[in-house]
């Protein structure tokens, strides 16, 4: 076991690597080679990556793929996706082509409100606090003018501040609940700066005007944005669902709807169902330099908004029309952060024709809907494993360091045989023997 180390962040990158190798690796030469193998040969680009986070030692690569043929509001897109799961891009592409031939996807942004809160403790009279807040509210907003002036010039800024009494949930707990419009920026830094200024002004004025002390606990944006909503949908006559793997569109539509209904009422299914949606959403969010962890947290909270975790997608069959849709909260940005720093993020956004934040919300929602359609379509027809394992085949072959010739023969073999891990292992052994 290595000893604790002080001042690690002050070491050079080479010194950090050598400490790691000395502390944890038996074959230090191999480990050192691997770390350096993933450095970018362009020193300027590598320095850019090194400075994204602290204690960088190398780069961790994910594949950046593309899913073409997404027709969204009658405009054609090729969507970038950064993800390692083998079947995601294939499923999205297949769903995109399926709906391209049936009118494409429709998407609209319903609202773009974002939220931040100042959490504080107050042990005095609530009526006095309420009266004080009503008096001080204009000053809270004006105190942030040095922060908000550029955002306001573009049409955004602070929408409102409310005093919320949460003392029934936690003794003496209150909050300033603020709403914001941040336009094409995700807005985390903007919101947090405003909140900290609110807290500073609120505390200073409270010390003067309130009889009891007011203690600020923290000031932070919320990644739950139930009023930053985008909707995406597909629809067509049931008869138009007929395709190579859908021989009876009526039976398919009913079974598909049943699968969605199950995810609406059964949380164990809903979690996996929504995970499949997030396969598509996260991949595009990551490719465009947005915070997929924030998006995940907000989306899953939204899935439980009615006090039971449920499906994010819904399906209806009315008047011989099949309709499938999603409504989700997405706080995204196309300016600031990695969008102006990471070269592949710039590449991805240019591929999407430099979208505004609202446009990106639509694209990301469509990617999630397409992913879910592909998954549920497979589940209710051929089963999920047939397509998934065929895509996973190459990963298994690479684990066994199959040669190009072996890969060619085994890919041909599994065109007519079921892919399982044990079946692939057996086939490799038979081929090599």
Element holding 145 (H helix, E strand): helix 145-153
Q: Please spell the DSSP secondary structure of 124-139, one letter per residue.
A: S-HHHHHHHHHHHHHH
- Tokens coding 233: 């949908």
Of 291, 342, 362, 377, which one is the catalytic site residue? 291
Task: Please report the beta strands in 123-263, taking only residues with DSSP state E, as ranges in sequence order.
Answer: 157-165, 173-181, 214-222, 229-237
Sign of CA dihedral 133, 134, 135, 138: positive
Smallest CA-to-CA distance from 70 within 99, 37, 49, 50 is with 99
Q: Is 392 a catalytic residue?
A: no
| Cα(105)–Cα(300) distance, integer angstroms | 23
Of 18, 50, 85, 254, which one is the catalytic site residue? 85
| Cα(118)–Cα(219) distance, integer angstroms | 4
Residues of 116-140 as b/e, b for ≥16 C-beta within 10 angstroms?
A: bbbbbebeeeeeebeebbeebbeeb
Task: Please report the beta strands in 1-92, taking only residues with DSSP state E, as ranges in sequence order.
Answer: 64-72, 75-82
Q: Is 275 a catalytic residue?
A: yes
For residue 16, how many other CB atoms are within 10 A of its CB?
A: 17
Q: Which residue has the tokens 């379509």?
A: 377
Of 36, 149, 275, 421, which one is the catalytic site residue? 275
Q: Is 42 a catalytic residue?
A: no
| Cα(316)–Cα(327) distance, integer angstroms | 14
| Cα(36)–Cα(2) distance, integer angstroms | 23
Smallest CA-to-CA distance from 330 within 288, 273, 277, 281 is with 281
Calculate the alpha carbon distances from 212 to 13, 111, 119, 209, 415 in Å. 51, 39, 17, 9, 75
Of 94, 119, 257, 388, which one is the catalytic site residue? 388
- Tokens coding 376: 């549920």
- Tokens coding 164: 């919320």
Q: Is 388 a catalytic residue?
A: yes
- Catalytically annotated residues: 85, 275, 291, 388
């Amino acid at each position: 076991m290595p000893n604790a180390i002080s001042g690690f962040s002050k070491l050079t990158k080479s010194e950090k690597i050598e400490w790691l190798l000395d502390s944890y690796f038996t074959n230090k030469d191999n480990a050192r080679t691997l770390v350096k193998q993933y450095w970018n040969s362009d020193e300027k680009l590598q320095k850019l990556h090194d400075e994204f986070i602290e204690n960088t030692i190398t780069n961790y690569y994910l594949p950046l793929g593309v899913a073409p043929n997404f027709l969204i509001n009658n405009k054609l897109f090729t969507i970038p996706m950064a993800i390692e799961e083998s079947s995601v891009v294939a499923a999205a592409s297949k769903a995109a082509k399926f709906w391209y031939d049936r009118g494409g996807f429709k998407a609209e942004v319903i609202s773009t409100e974002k939220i931040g809160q100042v959490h504080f403790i107050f042990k005095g009279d609530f009526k006095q606090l309420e009266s004080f807040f009503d008096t001080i509210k204009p000053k809270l907003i004006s105190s942030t003018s040095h922060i908000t002036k550029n955002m306001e010039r573009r049409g955004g800024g602070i929408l409102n501040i409310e005093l919320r009494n949460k003392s029934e949930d936690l003794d003496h707990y209150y909050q300033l609940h603020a709403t914001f419009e941040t336009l094409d920026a995700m807005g985390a830094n903007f919101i947090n700066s405003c909140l900290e200024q609110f807290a500073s002004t609120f505390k200073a004025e409270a010390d003067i005007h309130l009889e009891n002390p007011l203690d600020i606990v923290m000031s932070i944006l919320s990644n739950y944005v139930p009023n930053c909503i985008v909707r995406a949908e597909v629809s067509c006559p049931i008869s138009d669902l007929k395709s190579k793997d859908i021989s009876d569109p009526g039976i398919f539509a009913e079974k598909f709807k049943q699968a969605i209904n199950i995810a609406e009422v059964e949380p164990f299914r809903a979690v996996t169902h929504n995970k499949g949606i997030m396969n598509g959403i996260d991949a595009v969010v990551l490719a465009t330099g947005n915070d997929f962890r924030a998006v995940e947290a907000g989306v899953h909270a939204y899935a439980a908004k009615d006090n039971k975790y449920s499906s994010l997608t819904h399906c209806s069959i009315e008047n011989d029309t099949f309709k499938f849709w999603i409504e989700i909260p997405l706080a995204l940005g196309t300016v600031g952060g990695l969008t102006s720093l990471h070269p592949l993020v710039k590449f991805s956004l240019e591929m999407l024709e430099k979208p505004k934040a609202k446009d990106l919300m639509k694209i990301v929602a469509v990617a999630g809907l397409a992913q879910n359609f592909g998954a549920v379509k497979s589940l209710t027809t051929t089963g999920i494993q047939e397509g998934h394992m065929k895509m996973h085949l190459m990963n298994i072959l690479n684990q066994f360091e199959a040669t190009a010739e072996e890969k060619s023969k085994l890919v041909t073999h599994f065109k007519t045989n079921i892919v399982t891990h044990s079946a692939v292992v057996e086939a490799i052994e038979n081929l090599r023997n």
